[in-house]
Amino acid sequence: MQNLYFARQPILNREARVDFYEVLRAQKSQEAGNGFIFESSLLEALQKIGRQSVLGKRRAFIKVDENLLMGAKIYTLSHEFFIFALTSDIEIREDVIKRVRDLNEKGFILAIDDFAPSAASMSKYSKIVDEVSFVKIDFNRTVLVNEESKEMVARVKERGVSVVATNVSDKLRYGFAKSLGCLFFQGYYFSKAKMFEEDQCKPPRLNILKLYSLLANDADFEVIVNEFKKNSSVSILLLKYINSGAFHFKNKISSIHHILTLVGREPLSKWLMLVIYSMANVPNPKTSPLMLMVKNRTVMMERILKEAVPDAGKSMMDQAYFVGVLSLIDVLFEDDMQKILDEMNVYDVVRDAILKDSGILGEIYALIRDIEEFNPKAMMEFEERHDLESGVLGKIMIECMKEVAVFEVALSSIEG
């Protein structure tokens, strides 16, 4: 198999739950540029890696070009786990219409990629819109929220088709997408701004930071236990996570004191931060996209550092973890990142990595943001700059996807 650089981006519903993914890939080539090369071999690669280990139980949107759509190979692909999105450059000819209808009859779930909410677009797809389940509207382009676009989206929805807003990168685009009646949202905004403002549950900031500070500064066990008792919601969540399938203890843990004794301060402080992220969205904290994203970032920070700096010691690895876990703390608390870091009194190397992208930790942190935004060129350049094996970042990405999927399954098993 060629070197693969996978990207998996979540697609959320209006309740902030992850319902689907979109999966893209790039190959190491001079043509890769800043985008992902689509190839039908993506599906084969996912099957080889293990679809469930990358996607969990969710379906994934996969782009389909005309060559794949009209070829015989498409019928050999498993359509149980994928949604096939027709690219916008496909000409809607009679043979294409016939193929789309045939695929729909055979149980394939289809979508139209890059659908413009206009009369012209409705005219183009009028003969196949009843055969698809989704249309995707790209909000990175100029999408006018006017009577025409609202009417077109309404007409699509009347046909039983769900509308997915893609490239939702800021509050303005999210507002546009909601006003047009989009049901699903894909983009970087959910990790950068107050996307689900009306659904957010703001954790008691000062209490949480005090807990973190006590753990980090070797406070007496009883002082820490008493502080946990003052924060019953945090204590309950923590006990549930520790007792979930995400952690492997021989016996169930029944108290915070037991956790401190058996587990230790440092792991507990790490888990505490993840628990706090789980409180970012209601009503379903188990699948908080913010929590899954920060989990992915912490794993990637550690894995990439280990490759780039093989002799990195425990202290440096811990710093890498905290760059990842603190990287979205401003989103969680809805405040200035520098102000929060000042309150937490973090190490300068962590602070500078987050605020300035400085040092090797800052470089890795910047790389992770590039990965999240589907930039394979940045991955290739990082590998070359650090004399890494070609394709090693692609392997790390797959490993991280698998670990986050296992983590999410464990969270979903928690009762209550």
Q: Is 23 left (phi over 0), alpha (psi -120 to 50) or beta?
A: beta
At 109-145, the pLDDT tens digits run: 999 999 988 889 999 999 999 999 999 998 876 666 7
In tens, the pLDDT along 8-52 reads: 788 888 877 788 888 776 554 434 443 334 445 566 666 666 666
Q: What is the dotted CATH code of the domain comprising 59-198?
A: 3.20.20.450
Average pLDDT of the chain, as a whole number: 79
- Peptide bond just before 283 cis, omega within 30 deg: yes
- Residue 408 pLDDT class (50, 70, 90 cuts): confident
Region 393-411: mean pLDDT is 81
Q: Give whichever of 10-14, 77-81, 240-244, 311-315 has the largest mean pLDDT.
A: 311-315
Identity of the residue numbered 50: G
The model's pLDDT over 207-227, given as tens digits with 9 standing for 90+, comes to 777 787 788 777 888 888 888
pLDDT of res. 46: 64
Percentage of the chain beyond pLDDT 70 is 75
pLDDT by residue (tens digit) across 223-273? 888 888 777 767 776 776 666 655 666 666 667 777 777 778 877 777 777
CA 339, CA 387: separation in Å to the nearest integer?
37
Domain boundaries, the chain: 59-198, 205-279
Residue 395 pLDDT > 70: yes
Two structure tokens written together for 374? 């589907």
Query: 181 to each of 145, 158, 174, 184, 267, how far by Cα in Å?
Result: 11, 12, 11, 9, 43
Please provide the distance, in angstroms rounded to a whole number, between the alpha carbons at the two ends of the chain.
43
Q: What is the DSSP letter of 294?
A: H
Tell me, what's the pLDDT at 258? 79
Residue-level pLDDT at 300: 95
Q: What is the pLDDT of residue 129?
A: 95
The C-alpha torsion from 139 through 145 and 149 to 155, rounded to 10°, is 90
18-27 vs 4-13, strand pairing mode: antiparallel
pLDDT digits (tens, 9 = 90+) for 151-195: 989 999 999 999 999 888 777 888 888 888 899 998 766 554 333
Taking residues 311-327, report their average pLDDT.
Answer: 89
Angstrom distance (rounded) from CA 397 to CA 370: 12
Helix (H/G/I), strand (E/B), else coil: 184: strand
User: d(Cα 209, Cα 189) in Å, to the nearest integer?
Assistant: 25
Spatial contact of 325 and 273, defined as CB atoms under 8 Å apart: yes
